[in-house]
Structure 1
Amino acid sequence: MRELGMPARSAMVVALFLAGTGHALAGEMTRERAGQLADGTVVEAVTLTNDNGVSARILTYGATLQSLIAPDREGKLADVTLGYDDLAGYVDTPNYFGVTVGRYANRIAGGRFAIDGQSFQLPQNDGDNSLHGGGAGFDKKNWQVASATSGATPGVVMTLTSPDGDSGYPGEVKAKVTYTLDNAGNLAITFEADTTKPTVINMTNHAIFNLAGEGAAGGIEGHRLTIPAAHFTPVSEILIPTGERMPVAGTVFDFRQARYIAHGLRDGTDEQIRFGRGYDHNWALDKGLTVQPQLAARLEDPVSGRVLEVLTTEPGVQVYTGNFLDGTLIGKNGHLYRMGDGIAMEPQKFPDAPNQPDFVSPRVDPGKPYRHAMIYRISTAR
């Protein structure tokens, strides 16, 4: 499928912002056509901006964070998310860049789980496993704009109905994603869902970041990462958690104090790094499951001064260092993305939680809605 409408270039958003043309003005929301799918479905883009030069562009296709533009310590703007310049890239060569993942983020072993003694089989799109909803998940759907507002905290609400049996999951699910951006640099994302039958839900955003700017030389190896977690969940060779919680102390998974990602990213002496081809693991956050979002990860680029904090109500954060990017995808501005060019920090329930009784349950029942609140907080350090 190819896009037939106007390209959605992040560079264009920056230019319009600087030129003061009336598009993407500070503290406002703008809404435009981003293209259409092969069946004629129109895809929209909503841009949120604050008074400090930060802007976020969200596509209805996949409820996708297409760009997050932020100033460095000198005020220079750059898009800090990997992705594509236009809709066609997200449709033709999908790689989860910035998408809303669901119904279940991450892996489910064998693509199978059971609820109340009834087994359900999902598509197996990651070897024998089901990954990010099974290949035709929420990231491949065109969401509807329920509301979009300007003001001090501009925002957009997008909705999607997933029918009973969609990709093998039970229950009709009505999902909602809300993006808001405030002047403190908080891009808040809230995921909500109701179901007609007992089911499992685990939604998150899958943005992949390079705080030096997407496509910047050196990738994220020079970034410093902090994760407030004393344990992570080790995986098998097929990246399914073993069920353990392994202490990070003395390992390359210890980010309790800020540490350069390069120090462990290519450490082939660690079996877990070999299994993941880098970091592709879940940290069990010390805070656990919370009502209000709390810190899950802090990423800093010492050169640009940009800082990204990820806050969440969920008990885990999956860190993925773009290990399966092999230089074959042409991203924004013609950049070829490779392993280590970006990092995803995905707050969520633990991988394979439907089959792991010791993990926080992802079960959602009728009348008991699902909710996950997370924040991308962008700032600068001197």
Structure 2
Amino acid sequence: MKMETKEILTQVEQTWTLYRLENDQGMSVNFLNYGGIITDISVPDNDGQIENVVLRFKNYEDYISNPVFFGALVGRVAGRIKEASFYLNGQTYQLGKNERSHHLHGGQEGFHSRVWNVTPYENEQEIGAKLSLSSPAGDGGYPGNVEVEVTYILTNDNRFIIDYKAETDEVTPLTLTNHAYFNLSGGAKRTIDNHVCLIDSTKIAELDEELIPTGEWLDVNNTPFDFQNKKELKNVFTNETTQQKVASGGMDHYFKFNGEKESAIHLEDPESGRTLDVTTDQPGVVIYTSNSLPEGIKLLEGEARRHVGICLETQSSPASLHEKGFPDVLLSPENPYHKRTVFSFGKRR
């Protein structure tokens, strides 16, 4: 196993560091200290060809605005907070609005736009890096001083692990995730339409026209959102339903896990043979199928297009700040935050 670093000088006179983790099987993970942004995960296909399976910008400078959160660590709160406000312990907190009247993924200056401290490490079983960040009280409008540590870990059996920890001195909302867009075809040469997916979930959060949960749970059985058994993603793209239309022709929904299957999520690309299994101790996941990427975004592999990637945003639900019956996002001094998501890459047998 090995680690390499490279300095990236941006046009706005910021210098970032690009880290590359590589295991003994040839799998590698590249990420920036800026935003903890994952720019490359390269894994072999059935023929042993190693290619990148996440979307990345052609130009590093585009990560400064990064309106679609490519590859970024997202916080303090992943997801949408209705009307950019919440009520806690007798006080209303007002947050920055960055999607209509709502607060999305920590706001304009969330964790995705910070330079993280990075400490690399290596042992016999794995290679990795600890990314740390201090978020002071009032940051983005949130209460409490928060210390965050996220560890990226690459193992020799082609598992990429993201371990999240956080502590606070005051009760505050927090749920962290990574916003990588996966495309197992390699080099985004095809859309994800023919990717086969399984999600261990029978319930999704109903969304209104602005993608805010209504407070109701919908049963996925016998709907296009039913991925309890393996099926192609295009099934949800081509079957028009109210919820599919709300999400601009795909998924942008919170799925609550059943906890019944070995993997919370399974994804595979039949043509390349690459597979991805996701296990996590998070209660659910937002599945976003890049239904509305802005036109003209320049990827390393060409211009972005609809359904070119899928985000697997394991997390709790910020809807819990306004609605009952949703996984809680409140962090307290007595109960530090510790969550882990494992991405296991393999090949179809």
Displacement of 1:86 in angstroms is 4.3
Residues 69-218 of structure 1 aligned to structure 2 (within 5 Å): 69-149=42-122, 151-217=124-190
Matched, 1:330 2:303: no
Q: SS of 1:328's equivalent?
A: coil
Aligned match of 1:271: 242
Name stretches of at least 5 consecutive residues in structure 2 with no aligned partner: none
Q: Give the corresponding residue for 1:35.
A: 9
1:297 counterpart letter in structure 2: I
Q: Residues of 1 paired with 2:235 and 2:276: CA distance?
A: 20
Query: Contact 1:307–1:381 at 8 Å: present in 2 too?
Result: yes
- 2:286–2:312: 8 Å Cα contact kept in structure 1? yes
Aligned counterparts of 1:128 and 1:94: Cα–Cα separation in 2: 16
Instruction: Report the counterpart of residue 24 of structure 1 in structure 2.
Output: none
Of residues 173, 185, 201 in structure 2, which corresponds to 1:229?
201
Paired AA for residue 237 in structure 1: E
Distance 1:35 1:150 in 2: 31
Q: Show CA shifts across 1:273-326 (max 9, x none).
A: 0001111101110029xxxx9632111000000001121111111100101214
Cα distance between partner residues in 2 of 1:130 and 1:266: 30
**343 and 46 in structure 1: CA distance in 2 versus 1, 3 angstrom threshold:** same
Residue type at the aligned position of 1:29: M
- 1:371 and 1:294 map into 2 onto residues whose CA distance is 21
**Pair 1:41–1:319, CA change in 2 (3 A):** same
- Please tell me the residue identity of whatever aligns with 2:236: G
Distance 2:321 2:19 in 1: 34
Give the TM-score normalised by structure 2: 0.95
Match of 1:310 in 2: 278
Return the alpha-carbon distance in structure 1 between the equivalents of residues 105 and 327 of structure 2: 18
Identity %: 33
Query: What is the identity, as a one-letter code, of the residue corresponding to 1:158?
Result: L
Q: Which residue in 1 is equivalent to 2:38?
A: 65
Superposition deviation, residue 232 in structure 1? 1.1
The offset of 1:31, in angstroms, is 2.3
Alpha carbons 1:312, 1:347 under 8 Å: kept: yes
Residues 364 and 308 of structure 1, relative CA distance in 2, 3 Å threshold: same
Aligned residue for 1:220, secondary structure, equals coil
Deviation at 1:93, TM superposition (A): 4.2
Q: 2: distance between equivalents of 1:45 and 1:150?
A: 21
Aligned AA for 2:310? I
Q: 1:248-295: CA deviations, max 9, x gaps?
A: 111011000001001111322x0000001111101110029xxxx963
Alignment partners' CA distance in 2, 1:194 and 1:117: 22
Higher strand share: 2
1:356 corresponds to which residue? 323
1:30-58 superposed Cα distances (whole Å, 9 cap, x missing partner): 223233573x5531121111111210011
Corresponding position of 1:5: none
Structure 2 counterpart SS, 1:309: strand
* Paired residues of 2:185 and 2:269 also in contact (CA < 8 A): yes
CA distance in 2, matches of 1:149, 1:86: 30
Moved more, 314-323 or 348-357: 348-357
**Structure 1 stretch displaced more, 83-92 or 61-70:** 83-92
Whole-angstrom distance in 1 between the partners of 2:4 and 2:308: 30
Distance of 2:11 and 2:140 partners within structure 1:
21
CA drift of 1:92 comes to 4.2
Distance 2:219 2:67 in 1: 35
Distance 1:152 1:264 in 2: 40
User: For the residues of structure 1 that align with 2:281 and 2:9, how far apart are their CA atoms?
Assistant: 34
Alpha-carbon separation, structure 2, partners of 1:41 and 1:146: 20
Q: Distance in 2 between matches of 1:186 and 1:117?
A: 44
Q: Which sections of structure 1, spanning at least 5 residues, go unmatched?
A: 1-26
- Tell me if the contact between 1:104 and 1:133 (Cα under 8 Å) persists in the aligned partners: yes
Q: Could you tell me whether the CA contact under 8 Å between 1:294 and 1:313 is conserved in 2?
A: no
Work out whether residues 35 and 115 of structure 2, in 8 Å CA contact, stay in contact via their aligned partners in 1. Answer: yes
The answer to whether residue 254 in structure 2 is matched with residue 282 in structure 1 is: yes
**Cα-to-partner distance string for 1:51-71 (whole Å, 9 max, x where unaligned):** 112100111010111110010
The corresponding residue for 1:375 is 342
Task: Count how many residue pairs are aligned between Structure 1 and Structure 2.
Answer: 348
Partners of 1:220 and 1:263 in 2: how far apart? 11
Equivalent position of 1:20 in the other structure:
none
Alignment-derived partner of residue 247 in structure 1:
219
